[in-house]
Amino acid sequence: MLAVSCSGCAAAAAAQLAPLVFQGATFAGVQVGSAVTGRDPTEDTQDTDERCDALAATPPYMGELIQTSDGQAVRGLVLGEAGGKPKWFLSTTVTSLGALQFTPPITSSADDSKKKRNFLAYAPAQPQNERENNQLIAFVGSFESGPGVLSVAGRNYRYAWVEKLPCFQPAQ
C-alpha cells in the first residue's frame, strides 16, 4: 500500500485532485492514456489550473519516444520557460527503450513511433522525500498509470505512456 504524506498547500492540492478523463489509445499492444491537454467543457477550470500548477512546480520525469540508429529510445524532457510561458524542452539525455525495465515487459514497433509522438511520464512509486512526493502528486493529477512498474536502478516508478504532453506545449 502506498502512503503519501504531505502538508500545507501540497495537502490541499492533493485533496482537490479529481478523477481525470483519459482517452485510451493503443501503442503497439500497450494500453496508454492520453493526458488532458485542453479544457473539456465539463471540466472544472480551477481543477485544471491546480493540476497544471502542481505539474509546473515539480514535474515527474518525462521523456519522448524516439527512433535512433540503435532502435527506439527515450529522450528526456525538461520543463522550462520560453516567451514567458512554461514549455517542454528536449534534453540531451537519451536512454535505450530496451534498457528500461518494465514489468510486465512492453513491446513496440518502429512503424508506430514514426506515426505519432509518444511520451513517457514516471514518478517514484514510494517517495523518499518531499520533492519525490510532489512529483508523485503531479503525476497522479495528470496521468493514468500504466499496467505495471518501471524499475530504474533498483527503484520502482509508476509510469504512463501518453500521446500528448499535459498542460504545456513542447518548445519548437
pLDDT tens-digit readout, 122-170 = 999 999 999 999 999 999 988 888 888 999 888 999 999 888 888 998 8
Largest interatomic CA distance in the chain: 48
Residue 32: which of 123, 124, 148 has the closest Cα?
A: 148
Residue 169 lies in a domain: no
Which pTM does this prediction carry? 0.68
Overall average pLDDT of the 59-67 stretch: 93
Residue 167 lies in a domain: no
Residue 149 lies in a domain: yes
Residue 144 lies in a domain: yes
Residue 171 lies in a domain: no
Grid look-up 527512433 returns: 67
pLDDT score at 30: 34
Overall average pLDDT of the 66-78 stretch: 91
Between 45-57 and 8-15, two packed helices, what is the crossing angle to 10 degrees?
140
Residue 89: which of 64, 58, 122 has the closest Cα?
A: 64
Q: What letter represents residue 62's amino acid?
A: M
Q: Tell me how many domains the chain contains.
A: 1
Going by pLDDT thresholds of 50, 70 and 90, the confidence category of residue 109 is low
